[in-house]
Amino acid sequence: MSTLEIRDLHVAVGDKEILRGVDLTVRSGETHAIMGPNGSGKSTLAYAVAGHPKYTVTSGTVLLDGEDLLEMSVDERARAGLFLAMQYPVEVPGVSVSNFLRSAITAVRGEAPKLREFAKELKGGMDALSIDPAFAQRNTNEGFSGGEKKRHEILQLELLKPKIAVLDETDSGLDVDALRVVSEGINRFRASGDTGVLLITHYTRILRYVKPDFVHVFAAGRVVEEGGPELADKLEAEGYEAYTAKAASA
């Protein structure tokens, strides 16, 4: 049983305040969707929690099972059980997928997997996501299509088995087939054990495949409305206009 607890989080990029007091709690077994218009700060939340150096936390706390994530380096947070699936996965020239994944698994599990077991695990993971096995020898994300990059993110999710996964617009840029494959991966991860998911998305489309327990609407750097899955239906029908207008007048 794990808990990610975000309290009154304020985050700035340079002099500009992006997050203005975010409160959010994600427990294992729960899936939370964060929805909101472009520029509302959804991705900033994801990157700030993961510890990207570009984002400065000006106040607030982020605890994972009571431990202060903000005091940890990026890699310490990941080893503590946090995972961020990125909207734009980074191309790392000259580092093969296989080498990258083996290094990551070794770091997160605290010991190097046996070569044969790793090969088997990797192949199983790739098969489940319909990833061509030849990708294991390619450079990490280099020359991958948008859909291939997202599958590769979910492959990492399934191999690293974090306590809490933050998925930043994993659905963006995917065609229906790729969306289904990726959603199945997320659902396998949800079913695999005591894990919590924070799903950040602009569109309701992915929520047909990955059912959220809670929906939070983000606008102008904070949560402006919360509810159950029915809130997503309302957003689908009405869009974000009501919230952006409210935020602008606030």
Partner 1 sequence: MGLETKPLSTLHEKASYDVADFPVPTGREEEWRFTPLSRLKGLHNGTAAVTGGVVVDVEAAPEVRVETVGRDDARLGKAYTPADRVSAQAYSSFEKATVVTVPKMTAASRPTVITLRGSGAGAAAYGHVLVSVEPMAEAVLVLDHRGSAVYADNVEFDVAEGATLKVVSLQDWDDDAVHVSHHHARLGKDATFRSFVVTLGGDLVRLSPSVSYTAPGGDADLTGLYFVDAGQHLEHRLLVDHSVPNCRSNVTYKGALQGDGAHAVWIGDVIIRAEAEGTDTYELNRNLILTDGARADSVPNLEILTGEVAGAGHASASGRLDDEHIFYLQARGIPFDEARRLVIHGFFAQLLEKIEVPEIRERVLSAVEAELAR
Sites of contact with partner 1 (CB under 8 A)? 50-53, 73-75, 77-79, 83-84, 86, 89-90, 92-95, 99-100, 103-104, 107-108, 139, 156, 160
Residue nearer to partner 1 on the CB measure, 49 or 247: 49
Give the end-to-end CA distance of the chain in Å, rounded to a whole number: 38
- What is the C-alpha to C-alpha distance for residues 125 and 132, in angstroms, rounded to an integer? 11
Sequence-distant (≥ 6) Cβ neighbours of residue 186 within 8 angstroms: 154, 157, 167, 170, 197, 199, 209, 210
- Give me the count of residues in the chain: 250
Nearer to partner 1 by C-beta: 156 or 195? 156
Smallest gap from Cβ 53 to partner 1, in A, equals 7
For residue 192, give the DSSP letter: T
Report the amino acid identity of residue 158.
Answer: E
Measured at the CA of 248, the angle between CA 243 and CA 250, to 5 degrees, comes to 90
**In angstroms, what is the minimal distance from the CB of 145 to partner 1?**
18
Cβ 245 to partner 1 shortest distance, Å: 35
DSSP string, 69-117: GGGS-HHHHHHHTEEEE-SSPPPEEEEEHHHHHHHHHHHHHSSPPPHHH
CB atoms within 10 A of CB 113: 17
Residue with Cβ nearer partner 1 (97 or 178): 97
Nearer to partner 1, 13 or 92 (CB): 92
Least distance (Å) between residue 102 CB and partner 1: 10
Q: What minimum distance in Å lies between the beta carbon of 109 and partner 1?
A: 9
Identity of the residue, 84 or 220, whose beta carbon is nearer to partner 1 in the bound complex: 84
